[in-house]
Amino acid sequence: MVQVPYFTALTTYFAYALLFAIGHIRDFFSCLLWKEKVADGYAPLTGDFGDFYIRWVYHRIHDCFNRPICSSPGAWIDVVGRERLGTSNWILKNTGGVRRCLNLGSYNYLGFAAQDEYCTVKAIETLERFGASTCSGCFDAGKTTVHEELENLVAEYLGKEDAIVYGMGFATNSSTLPALVGKGCLVISDSLNHSSIVVGVRGSGARVKVFKHNNPEHLEKVIRESIAEGQPRTHRPWKKILIVIEGVYSMEGEIARLPEIVAIKNAYKAYLYLDEAHSIGAMGQTGRGICEYTGVPFADVDILMGTFTKSFGSCGGYIAGSKDLITHLRHTSPCHTYATSMSPAAVQQVTSSLKVIMGRDGSRRGAEKLRNLRENSNWFRQELLKLGCQVLGDEDSPVIPIMVYNPGRMAEFSRECLKRHVAIVVVGFPACSLILERARFCISASHTRKDLEYAIDVIREVGTIMRIFWGKPTPDLLADVPSLAAKLAAKTQ
């Protein structure tokens, strides 16, 4: 559990209360002056809390998000300058200026986002041969030899019999889960699972129970209770139980406690679905993800899922598993058949970067990248701890969040860093709860030590102004703060 400093919580809530009060007052008066133009007979298009939040909180800080860039998302990026059109107008307009910033925001773990001597050339070759799109689903005319090559390579890399590739990581989850579980099945989901998993589970019609974030003890408790009770009302036994976890949690930087979870899964005959979006290519000696990192045999995880948007600098996602499972998915997962297949050039980008990682390009660049990433991440984490930041997550994880707590401070932190040419990501509601705002650094193998030293200098300077150094380092912070999305999912299932 994050120990929110008492005074910070108080001021944060106070800030929210003030914002909301002012928002309501202004809404009230603007209502009196001019009625919102909703045509007669219609309900307002957006009338809920979300809309209110956007207008009165989000618009004050939205310059910290969606910042356009005009370069490849490599280690250094060109951020396009923006400014408000007027004081009462919240629309941001490009000023035309660009600022070259150190990129601590993109998920460019292995540095394949930038132009690469090996991969970019191959991707362009494939583009010339296959075009940008196939305009067909994978069963129609969407599968090309490059798709086939990638599916085989992913399967080989992960030591599974077969693999299936989708054009989008989000859709991989949201379309695979409904093809695996349905009515009468139970999904036990980590409380901080990604939105795509929540969407997938919701789309499946299966029951969902949430266990405390990364807490195998609670998982075991939930699973025991569930099996003992059976389905609600009918008390029939569950058809099957699927545990869904992530390898590295993108907002916490935490590494899943896989060995314990696998032991539970085996003991209770459940199935395990592991989302490796942030760990594939980034964790483990040879980048094979969290199984390799924790020493769990790949065979113990029934369904390995991952995306190509992070370490491989491309787009799309995969599922790896047994031959029959993948064949089943090909015939039942809607996004495989109905959606346009992944762009051949993007497929080639993944294949080439995988080859680099596996050392098949004839160089040692892959191993070097992996080592750089690990060293960079650990060095950066140590430095932040030394500064006195409240750092979340585990050693070796390339995702390093620090707590900022207050939305105003969060925004100002981001702006000040940007002024000093460091582009960082800050995360607030709805991605985390209202008072657990944080800043997040994603480390890349392509950062040099000098880059990172520069970043630390900037964080030291800005952090002192913002007072985000909470003193003593406190590891193991987040335990049971269910994300809003997970809570909502649990409530509404």
Q: What is the contact surface with ligand PLP in residues (CB under 6 A)?
A: 168-170, 173, 194, 196, 246, 250, 275, 277-278, 307, 309, 317
Among the candidate windows 219-227, 291-299, 371-379, 445-453, which touches other proteins by CB under 8 A? Answer: 219-227
434 interface partner picked from other proteins, ligand PLP, none, CB below 5 to 8 A per type: none
Contact 269, 131 (CB under 8 A): no
**Contacting residue, 176, 191, 196, 214, with other proteins by CB under 8 A:** 196
Q: What is the DSSP letter of 63?
A: G
Helices marked H in 230-363 = 258-267, 290-294, 323-332, 334-338, 344-357
Report the site for other proteins in 300-339 (rule: CB under 8 A): 302-303, 307-310, 312-315, 324-325, 327-335, 337-339
Q: Closest CB to other proteins among 53 and 479?
A: 53
68 lines the binding site for other proteins (CB under 8 A): yes
- Other C-beta atoms within 10 Å of 460: how many? 16
15 interface partner picked from ligand PLP, other proteins, none, CB below 5 to 8 A per type: other proteins
Size of the site for other proteins (CB under 8 A): 141
- Shortest Å distance, C-beta 134 to ligand PLP: 19
Contact 237, 216 (CB under 8 A): no
- Shortest Å distance, C-beta 229 to ligand PLP: 29
Q: Closest CB to ligand PLP among 194 and 355?
A: 194
51 lines the binding site for other proteins (CB under 8 A): yes
Report the site for other proteins in 386-415 (rule: CB under 8 A): 406-409, 411-412
- Shortest Å distance, C-beta 119 to other proteins: 8
**Contacting residue, 3, 46, 95, 363, with other proteins by CB under 8 A:** 46
**Contacting residue, 52, 268, 454, 469, with other proteins by CB under 8 A:** 268
| Upstream peptide bond of 430 is cis (omega within 30 degrees of 0) | yes
Distances from the Cα of 126 to the Cαs of 62, 115, 345, 348, 353, in angstroms? Answer: 38, 15, 5, 7, 14
420 lines the binding site for other proteins (CB under 8 A): no
User: How far apart, in whole angstroms, are the C-alpha atoms of residue 179 and residue 176?
Assistant: 5
Among the candidate windows 102-110, 253-261, 391-399, 447-455, which touches other proteins by CB under 8 A? Answer: 102-110
Strands of the sheet containing 162-166, edge to edge, are 162-166, 317-321, 303-307, 271-275, 241-246, 186-190, 207-211
Instruction: With both helix axes pointing from N to C terminus, report the angle between 169-180 and 323-332 in degrees, rounded to the nearest 10.
Output: 100
Distances from the Cα of 408 to the Cαs of 104, 210, 337, in angstroms? Answer: 20, 31, 45
451 interface partner picked from other proteins, ligand PLP, none, CB below 5 to 8 A per type: none
Contact 347, 313 (CB under 8 A): no
- Strand, helix or coil at 104? coil
- Shortest Å distance, C-beta 387 to other proteins: 18
278 interface partner picked from ligand PLP, other proteins, none, CB below 5 to 8 A per type: ligand PLP
Contact 104, 455 (CB under 8 A): yes
25 interface partner picked from other proteins, ligand PLP, none, CB below 5 to 8 A per type: none
